[in-house]
């Protein structure tokens, strides 16, 4: 009788080429390679976890929610700003995954950056809530329209990808301008004028070069470039 055996296919090995940096230790930055066995469900963040647990406990990167709600794991993956938690390794169709920290932020170590500059022009008093979209088929509209959190998860991808932000450190940047424009829809006319004046300042929308990278890399479809274009029209009106 012929026996049937099921041979398990070996997991593909992917090279992780990571830009390492430790102030005073790995300085200046340099790339280091690791080999990781992957499957079709593994994300880039899963690969980083494997490296940290099995090969180098000193590897630094930021992460929290693991499901694209917090934005902390954003980095440059093969030259493009992405969330490591939602980027499947095999979907990149490459044998080498090159990881760099976000550009334009002070480096803390390896892939971890200091995010404080991201909030420089975002007022903490601005509302994080916005009216929720209507749901098709809902029985009746609510008396008080429901609210949801703003789509921006403050990952920093838009700022990292923005050439204008890199050329001019004073530029408010795509995240702040998008947040400002959203805030204008939530306040009265006098405060709208104050916000528009900020957008029209020498640090505001005029410095945007319309590269559109911010909208291309945004993982939550905030479309910062569209908000900046709307601000530009309002400033010129």
Bridge partners for 30 per DSSP = 20
| Per-residue pLDDT tens over the stretch 133-157 | 777 776 666 667 777 788 999 999 9
| Per-residue pLDDT tens over the stretch 63-117 | 999 999 999 999 999 999 999 999 999 999 999 999 999 999 999 999 999 999 9
Alpha-helical (H) ranges within the chain are: 44-54, 157-161, 163-167, 174-184, 189-199, 213-217, 224-236
Specify the pTM. Answer: 0.89
């Amino acid at each position: 009788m012929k026996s049937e055996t099921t041979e398990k296919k070996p997991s593909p090995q992917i090279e992780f080429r990571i830009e390492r940096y430790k102030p005073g230790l790995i300085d200046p930055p340099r790339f280091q390679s690791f080999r990781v066995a992957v499957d079709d469900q593994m994300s880039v963040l899963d690969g980083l976890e494997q490296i940290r647990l099995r090969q180098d406990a000193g590897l630094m990167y930021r992460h929290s929610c693991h499901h694209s709600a917090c934005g902390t794991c954003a980095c440059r993956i093969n030259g493009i700003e992405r969330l490591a938690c939602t980027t499947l390794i095999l979907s990149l169709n490459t044998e080498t995954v090159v990881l760099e920290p976000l550009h334009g932020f002070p480096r803390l170590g390896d892939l971890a950056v200091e995010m404080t500059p991201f909030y420089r022009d975002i007022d903490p008093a601005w509302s994080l809530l916005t009216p929720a979209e209507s749901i098709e088929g809902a029985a009746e509209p609510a008396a008080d329209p429901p609210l949801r959190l703003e789509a921006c998860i403050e990952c920093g991808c838009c700022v990292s990808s923005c050439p204008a932000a890199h050329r001019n450190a004073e530029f408010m940047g795509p995240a702040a301008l998008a947040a400002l424009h959203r805030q204008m829809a939530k306040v009265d006319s006098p405060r709208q004028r104050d916000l528009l004046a900020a957008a029209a300042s020498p640090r505001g929308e005029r410095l945007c070069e319309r590269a559109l990278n911010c909208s291309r890399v945004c993982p939550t479809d905030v479309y910062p470039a569209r908000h900046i274009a709307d601000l530009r029209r309002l400033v010129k009106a």
